[in-house]
Structure 1
Amino acid sequence: MSLLVNLVGLILMALVVWWFWLSHRKNSAQATTQEATIIVEDGVYTPASIRAKSGQSLTLHFDRRDPSPCAEQVIFQGLDTSAFLETGKTTTLTLDNVPAGEHRFTCQMQMYQGTLIVE
């Protein structure tokens, strides 16, 4: 009986890893713009990668459709910028003078992940 419980536990852990980190690789769509809408839904940001030009303002509209508590905040690592996202609403975030390079943006638990590439 304990072998069955352990086996079910391992299968459930594998499913969690697959769902949050492996299953949504197809959503790696990329947008190149100074203004983009990012849909927050089903554990992913779509598009997950955004290209922008340095020295210009970048406006991002986060359309949060996922009621999960993990989706309530977006954090830009290395830029000291974050925003709280309301369910069912679009939150606009404007970034000025973003330095060139790759900047990750994630939820507070780092399950939702995206990349801002500034050239």
Structure 2
Amino acid sequence: MSESCVPTGVMLKDTGFGYTLSLIGGKYKMIILYCLSENKVMRHNELKRRIGTISFKTLSIMLKELEADGLIIRKEFPQVPPKVEYSLSERGLSLIPLLNMMCEWGENNSSPALEAIQQ
């Protein structure tokens, strides 16, 4: 068994696990990252349509935070009307295997998967 990511006596926020959660935690950040990994480049309204349940303001805030953390790249085109595209940075791309593992875990442990195991 491997060593704990959160050693005894160490605050969660002061660990690698805590740092990762600070970057991708919350309701929408992982969804935004996953959408960008599937589509490579997306505009604000495309992301909003894809996610569906997110408000314009919340999406704007999440995109600004992801950009500030170096996980996405915002490319602005000088034209009228303004055009802005978002894509994953190299740092953001490095999180995709983690998100894929979460997806795989969910598929293996969702209700239908558990029902199949119990039969």
Name the TM-score, length of structure 2 as normaliser: 0.27
Higher Rg: 2
- Structure with the bigger percentage of helix: 2
- Structure with the bigger percentage of strand: 1
Structure with bigger RCO (C-alpha 8 Å, 6+ apart)? 1
